[in-house]
Structures are given as structure tokens and as C-alpha cells.
A = this chain, B = another copy of it.
Amino acid sequence: MSDTNGKELLAGHLTSFMTFRLARAHNKLNAQISHYLRIYSDIGLVDWRVLRLLEAMGDTTMSQLSRLLQMDKGQLSRKIRGLVERKLVTSRVDQVDSRQQILRIDEAGRQLVRDILPKVQERQRLLVEGISQADLEVFLEVLAKIDAASETRDPL
């Protein structure tokens, strides 16, 4: 099966279609991981990311997650409600600031992460195999810069 994706058509100025390429890669990655999650679990992509983060960084709040994932707080609110209902996460009102609630991953959630993580990491490994360490570092650096630069919402 030859790759007739027409990528060659998008040459030209270096940054032309850069965000487009990013979006495209993102779409493919998302489709792939969603696919795996469906096979290996019954949680969705956002659920996975939330659990993964809660497991990795410990207790936190919705608004932190929202900032971190750069994701709508409304959506997050609903997703987290689902996770709490499924007993994967617990939520308690913060004693210091009663507007916010502290989210903590539950043992069941932790177990889920333990089950899925190896497969996700293996996939991650496959994604970057053949790419040199140095190139990967540059990649992540540039990605971080672009991330930082896409902060402003002011009109040009």
C-alpha cells in the first residue's frame, strides 16, 4: 500500500502548514490511543489522561488539571464526575479554599493505570524508535516553545 497522502504537496516554506501537520499527527495519535484504550479498558482518552496525571502528580484540583491539559473546565467537570461515580477518583472539598475540591486517584484507578500504562509506554516507544535522543530533545524543546507562544489570544 503506497502512501498517497499527498504530503509532498505541502512542501514549500518551512513553517507552511506547520500547525496543520501538528493537527494531523495529533489526530492520528489520538485515534490510535483511543483505539488501544477501547481494546484494553472501558475508559476514554480524557479519562485516561486525567488518571495518568493524578497518578503521576498526586492530588490536585480541577482547575489545575484544566490548565495542565489545556482543556475546557466544563468538559473536565463532567468527565471527573464520571470518574468519581465509577470510584476511580475521590473528591473532597478543600478545607482551606472551599470553592475547590481536591481530587485523588483511588486504588481502583491506580490499578487501572498500572494495567494500561505498560502498553501505552510500549506504543510510545514504538512511536519514537529510530529517532535519535538529540532530535527528540530538540523536538520537545520546540514543542514547548510553540506551546508557550500560543498563549496570546489577542488579535494580531
- Write the residues of chain A forming the contact surface with B, with a CB cutoff of 8 angstroms: 3-7, 9-10, 14-16, 18-33, 35-36, 39, 49, 52, 56-57, 64, 67-71, 119, 122-131, 133, 135-153, 155-156
Contact = CB atoms under 8 A, between A and B. Distances in A.
The number of times this chain is found in the oligomer is: 2
Nearest to A57: B9
B156 A119 contact: yes
A6 B57 contact: yes
B18 A140 contact: yes
A6 B64 contact: yes
12 contacts: A15-B136, A18-B140, A19-B127, A23-B49, A23-B69, A24-B147, A25-B150, A27-B70, A36-B155, A36-B156, A131-B145, A139-B139
